[in-house]
Structure 1
């Protein structure tokens, strides 16, 4: 019998995202890839999901991960050398994810994603009293500030106006892809959905650290859930290519 009902096409890749602007793929440098082999495995797995361009963003967190441009470029060089030997076709570069607290000092030597976009994170549960002043100081220096995964900061759950003020101050927001699946919890998923409905997000990234992240991401990509949820959202990742 001929069916007149066509199944909806399932989009089971990440080609629509274009570039992963936030991840922890560089080896032995923070709480991401433990060694070079794991780094290459993560990169190849993401490539199989449709990611062709990677901007690696290891933590710069003075008390925990005191990375510098030197340590980051050294880790990147190891990956690029191994990728060259494997005749890889994807593009890999590096910037950083800066931890911003009340002791953070802006300078002119910060590692940017592209075109002076600077990725920052803040404490998950404590207050940065002078955050807006820090962001203003960075912007005066010409940096375009991207706040990583704003849906995960507990202090903003019941005070959406604070995030609204950051948007008014031209702060860009980056969504973690796993947030929409509930991986980090129901509250974070609902908060991400709220910000998506407000069109507050500008970029998205995997924020991939380990195998659990990769497994969950693979599941929600290959079953079509991720594209169905956010695949048609106007993320600006491709503008950074």
Structure 2
């Protein structure tokens, strides 16, 4: 019967690998809080994502909605309120996982104004601030903004540097930024080619040079969580396991 089904339907889908990301402990970049950005759009979807991420081995999730001055106008109070709602649902379902929140700040004029006004930012771990830039255009005044972040007592963490096309031929800029204590977080799915060959190449180069401080799922949906299965058992994954990633201390 099994051979007949295999002939009819093709290769059987292997069972999902569980707990292979247990060594990380914490995912520090995910868009799970429902209805706040382009991530989970309902509490049902958010709950499903949390369950699947727990099955991968995560014991803690730091949920990081976008904050963009002209598009995702989220606030710390609004993010914390949505986190409280999700925590209640997760507890009711008996899912044993710790949930926290921060944000993924877009490097725009509104972000700079927050720094100049000394407005408290949403952070994780040791006062880390996660930020992103345009994918295609180099941010203006980048070094000046990094200086402002540090002057306000935060440690800057650049989200998915492997995905910025303006950096694909500027490896020396990445080296300079990292030497200037800008920490790097890559997306795990970049290592399996989910975002294209250039992002994969850059992620592998960052891995080779040990320029990776954090890794995140950057999960916006259950699909993103399931793609992670491709990483399990790969040679790239074994190299990743050898890095002193800061996820483990969160």
Is TM more than 0.5 here? yes
Query: Residue in 2 aligned with 1:133?
Result: 144
Post-superposition, which runs of at least 4 consecutive aligned residues in structure 1 deviate over 6 A? Answer: none
Query: 90, 93, 103: which is aligned to 1:96?
Result: 103
Asked if structure 2 preserves the Cα contact closer than 8 Å seen for 1:54 and 1:92, the reply is yes
Aligned residues: 229
Distance 1:133 1:14 in 2: 36
Query: Residue in 2 aligned with 1:6?
Result: none
Distance 2:191 2:162 in 1: 10
Query: Residue in 1 aligned with 2:28?
Result: 21
Asked if structure 2 preserves the Cα contact closer than 8 Å seen for 1:102 and 1:128, the reply is no
Query: Residue in 2 aligned with 1:7?
Result: none
Q: What is the DSSP-based 3-state SS (H/G/I as helix, E as strand, rest coil) of the residue aligned with 2:24?
A: coil
Query: 30, 39, 49: which is aligned to 1:32?
Result: 39
Query: 180, 183, 186: which is aligned to 2:194?
Result: 183
Distance 1:22 1:33 in 2: 13
Structure 1 residue 42, shift from structure 2 partner: 0.1
Cα distance 1:127–1:101, how it changes in 2: closer, same or farther (>3 A)?
farther
Whether 1:238 aligns to 2:248 is: yes
Query: Residue in 2 aligned with 1:4?
Result: none
Whether 1:115 aligns to 2:122 is: no
Distance 2:18 2:64 in 1: 27
Q: Deviations over 1:57-111 (max 9, x none)?
A: 0000111110001210111011011112123211001010000035531134100
Structure 1 residue 181, shift from structure 2 partner: 0.3
Query: Residue in 1 aligned with 2:166?
Result: 155
Q: What is the DSSP-based 3-state SS (H/G/I as helix, E as strand, rest coil) of the residue aligned with 2:29?
A: coil
Asked if structure 1 preserves the Cα contact closer than 8 Å seen for 2:69 and 2:108, the reply is no
Distance 1:44 1:80 in 2: 12
Cα-Cα RMSD: 1.6
Structure 1 length-normalised TM: 0.90
**Structure 2 stretches of 5 or more lacking a match?**
1-16
Q: What is the DSSP-based 3-state SS (H/G/I as helix, E as strand, rest coil) of the residue aligned with 2:30?
A: coil
Cα distance 1:49–1:34, how it changes in 2: closer, same or farther (>3 A)?
same
Distance 1:89 1:153 in 2: 36
Asked if structure 2 preserves the Cα contact closer than 8 Å seen for 1:102 and 1:131, the reply is no
Asked if structure 2 preserves the Cα contact closer than 8 Å seen for 1:25 and 1:209, the reply is yes
Structure 2 length-normalised TM: 0.87
Cα distance 1:103–1:91, how it changes in 2: closer, same or farther (>3 A)?
closer
Whether 1:50 aligns to 2:57 is: yes
Q: What is the DSSP-based 3-state SS (H/G/I as helix, E as strand, rest coil) of the residue aligned with 2:111?
A: coil
Cα distance 1:127–1:144, how it changes in 2: closer, same or farther (>3 A)?
same
Whether 1:73 aligns to 2:80 is: yes
Greater helix share, 1 or 2? 2
Distance 2:249 2:197 in 1: 31
**Structure 1 stretches of 5 or more lacking a match?**
1-9
